[in-house]
Amino acid sequence: MDDWPDLIGFAVQMRQRLNAYDPVVVPATIPHLGATEQQLAEAEERLGHPLDPLHSEMLSYANGWEDFVHLTDLYGTDEIGQGERWETSLEQLQLRYFPYEGATRLEDGEPDPEELYIIAGKPDEGSAHQFLLWKTGPISLKGGHPVIWQAGYEIERYPDVHDLLLSLNQYLQEDIAEMENGEQL
């Protein structure tokens, strides 16, 4: 995909506009500089499998982003597969699917947690929101795998990381329209 700079730039602009309305709810943040091939390879080595192709592409433009979505940070290559935030995110993921020993909450059409890897979260601030990439899920027309937004339950599912960013940009536009009409976020 060659539109990552446009999609990411649009998200930054929309977030800046929302920040003017409510800087507490929408902090003014920008993505980190893109990942190098070496950083991507190191993340893949820690995971023990390749990154999703579209996720890898996005990271090459935005290697992490605080408050990527409200209460959720996009993990950069330095956090994927290592560190306290990653481990806490894995614990949250396990609790979502296995709330107590011997239990499972897998429902029809739901992937096994072993088929997922976390691309965004913010467990260190108590957020249960996570974006999970289904690494063995159906391949989208763009060549990526599904992304699941969950917070103790599945909120939404996107065909791939590219469509996730398109959808998030749409949500930002809707939030701006609401704020311009005098509504609260």
Domain range annotation of the chain:
4-180
Q: What one-character DSSP code corresponds to residue 2?
A: -
Q: If one looks up domain 4-180 in CATH, what number appears?
A: 3.40.1580.10
Q: β-strand 116-121 against 154-158: which pairing, if any?
A: unpaired
73, β-bridge pairs: 121
Alpha helices in 48-160 (DSSP H): 53-59, 83-97
Residue with tokens 């956090």: 79
At 143, the amino acid letter reads: G
Q: State the pLDDT at residue 107.
A: 67
Instruction: Report the alpha-carbon distance of residue 170 to residue 57 in Å, rounded.
Output: 21
Q: State the pLDDT at residue 12.
A: 95
For the chain, the average pLDDT equals: 90
Residue 72 tokens read as: 């959720």
**Distance of CA 91 to CAs 12, 83, 85, 125, 140, Å?**
30, 13, 10, 14, 28
Q: How far is CA 146 from the centre of its chain?
A: 11
Q: What is the pLDDT of residues 111-124, one digit of tens each?
A: 888 899 999 998 87
Q: What is the pLDDT of residues 89-108, one digit of tens each?
A: 988 888 777 766 766 666 66
**Distance of CA 135 to CAs 80, 95, 111, 175, Å?**
14, 20, 10, 31
75: closest CA among 115, 124, 37, 109? 124
pLDDT for residue 185 is more than 80: no
Q: How far is CA 101 from the centre of its chain?
A: 28
CA-angle at 90, arms to 89 and 93, nearest 5°: 90
pTM over 0.75: yes
